[in-house]
Structure 1
Amino acid sequence: MNTKRWIALVVAAAVLGISLVINSAFAFLQSGFGEGVDDLMATTQSSISEVVIEEGDFDNRVAVLNVDGVIQDTGEASSLFGTTGYNHSFFMEQLENVKEDDSVKAVVLTVNSPGGGVVESAEIYDKIIEIQEETEKPFYVSMGATAASGGYYIAAPADKIFVNEETLTGSIGVIMQSVNYGELAERYGVDFVTIKSGPYKDIMSATRDMTEDERALLQEMLDDSYESFVDVIEEGRGMTEDEVRAVADGRVMNGRQAVEVNLADDFGFEEDVIEQVKTDFDLGNAEVFQYGASEGLGSLLSMKVNSFFGNDIETQMITKMLTEYSSPRMMYLYGDK
């Protein structure tokens, strides 16, 4: 590596260390100062605000929820490298607020996502179904540039789905990937020693080829998740199993094609979808709002660090290696993780 890369690596590692120290300090303070501080910290961490998009009747409101980025739960604690992308726990909190707030009469869910984790996608889907069944609040979906795989999974139960003609959607299916660099390591004389309690403990190891038995075990798991995906679309879109399977082979499609095969209802941008839900449910004078979160210390430091590093691609790659957990798992995801 050249000097610039070494400097970036050292600085990134140093800031990661500072992040760990700060997170540890918060944990110590939270556990050491009694129930009063615990309550204060909990209140701060769960704070959620509202941003009004259109003024109107406060007793009849339309909530706009946004899923932007990979649908993935990266954990409660955020590091100094945190970004403003998708936050799973925060989004689930928004759904709970929608359920409990009687002034919210309808929801517009905007989706700009290539999908994400099987578990996280199912959690969102289940919560939307719960809200629909218990409150009868309608959900309209506005798809952005991409709403594929898990991005479509969470949209499927909506009362109506709107796309742009160039929206990239579909990619219905499940994927699980790993990297095998065993042959490369062998070429350079690197030997991996693995001690395991059972024959499958190192399944999908990056240091050896997968056996046929291992592949069959994983394929069965993926097939189960695929069947769940098909069932979700059948129920949400009122399609037959054959109709779903005809397009559920992993293919991607644009918005026009999605409307043609009944995966979407109509065309429109976010503002069009808001107006449509207001018209359909007699909410012409409704206040339109979206949720936001107060910026905590971690978020402020994150912005400073990102500003310091800039958008250098080499630094971003180093940051990604230092902060992301890359264990293989099943994903409703279009494209690489």
Structure 2
Amino acid sequence: MSNDTDAWLERRRLTRRLNWWRLVAVLAIVAAALGALYWADPGNVIRRHQAHVARLEINGVIAENDWWMEKLDEAATDDRVKALILHINSPGGSTYGGEALFQAIRKVSEHKPVVSVIGTLGASAGYMIAVAGDQVLARETSLTGSIGVLFQTAEFSKLMEKIGVSAETIVSGPLKAEPNPTRPMSPEGRAQIQRMVQETHVWFVNLVAERRNLPPETVARLADGRVYSGRAALENRLIDGLGGLAEARDWLARNRGIASELPLRDIPSEPPTGWLDGVGSRAFATLIGKSLFSERLKLDGLISLWHPE
């Protein structure tokens, strides 16, 4: 019996020792994995609580966007965010959406430096939000500018006559139903819309003049709706310099003391979705939204948008 007991005790001792080393091995693997994730960490998932430079990409047609507004508000009040870099690739959009983003970016700039980097395209409302930054950069071949406002409508009265359809509209005032796609625009209605467009255009010109420290008459001369290359925009003082992310970080380091060694953290440009929701929404946007409908047609109100016909 003594030999059996000794053998059982020895096996138990060896088992405990083996389990101990297994635990040590598992902990070592976990520690190594966490260490590798910490140092790689491309999205700054672990280091997000450290001081960092935030980057927000603003892509596509600009409209009312509560998510962007929320993220900009967070960046303004988060002490861990030492600077904000905006990467803009947009033809513009609604003047309201551009104005709201402009004001939100200026709010960030009250607390920390903001650099706007124009990518392939930053025109109309895209340029409007770019000038909200403390420093505006673009590549030589970027397209920017297109300072101006437009109002688009359609009129189908001749088509309705051909297919035998008529429409009746009862209004409380002569300008209530202007413009109306069922009848030609009246001279009074056209004049009223032209005044509204011109009023907003003057507002846009004055905004650019103030932010770029240019005389309003100089901006008015440049604001005939045309786009400018990055090189031409620099010559006309619509931007501050040529470059991209590296030049933005260099400017922050030289002029605002924001160390280039600080990690760069991307702010999600759209809300997270579930896997099925994300696949479904992307599929619908691709197959239906972008195939059948121009994004321009989904904008209401005054538009500051550049797009070649």
Q: Which bracket does the TM-score occupy, shorter chain normalised?
A: 0.7 to 0.9
How far apart, in 2, do the equivalents of 1:244 and 1:218 lie? 23
Q: What is the 5 A alignment of 1:121-132?
A: 121-132=98-109
The one-letter amino acid paired with 2:101 is: I
How far apart, in 2, do the equivalents of 1:94 and 1:57 lie? 14
How far apart, in 2, do the equivalents of 1:220 and 1:226 lie? 10
The one-letter amino acid paired with 1:186 is: E
Larger displacement relative to structure 2 (50-59 or 205-214): 50-59
Structure 2's unaligned 5+ residue stretches are 1-40
SS of corresponding position for 1:172: coil
Structure 1 residue 183 displacement after superposition: 0.9
Q: Quick one: which of 290, 306, 312 aligns to 2:266? A: 290
| Change in CA separation of 1:326 and 1:209 when aligned onto 2, cut-off 3 Å | farther
Matched, 1:106 2:83: yes
The one-letter amino acid paired with 1:114 is: P
SS of corresponding position for 1:178: coil
Structure 1's unaligned 5+ residue stretches are 1-49, 74-87
> What RMSD over aligned residues (CA atoms) do the two structures have, in Å?
2.9
Matched, 1:225 2:200: yes
Structure 1 residue 277 displacement after superposition: 2.0
Q: Provide the residue aligned with 2:222 in structure 1.
A: 247
Matched, 1:115 2:106: no
Q: What is the 5 A alignment of 1:43-82?
A: 52=43, 59-73=50-64
- Encode CA deviations 1:110-156: one digit per residue, 9 max, x unaligned: 110111111111111112222323x2x11111101110000011111
Are the aligned partners of 1:54 and 1:288 in contact in 2 as well (CA < 8 Å)?
Answer: no
Structure 1 residue 275 displacement after superposition: 3.7
TM score, norm. by length of structure 1: 0.71
The one-letter amino acid paired with 1:103 is: R
The one-letter amino acid paired with 2:231 is: R
Structure 1 residue 333 displacement after superposition: 1.2
Structure 1 residue 58 displacement after superposition: 5.6
How far apart, in 2, do the equivalents of 1:166 and 1:203 lie? 40
Q: Quick one: which of 164, 176, 186 aligns to 1:189? A: 164
Are the aligned partners of 1:157 and 1:232 in contact in 2 as well (CA < 8 Å)?
Answer: no
Bigger-Rg structure (1/2): 2
SS of corresponding position for 1:143: strand
Identity in percent: 29
Consecutive aligned runs of 4 or more in structure 1 exceeding 4 Å deviation: 53-59, 309-312, 323-328
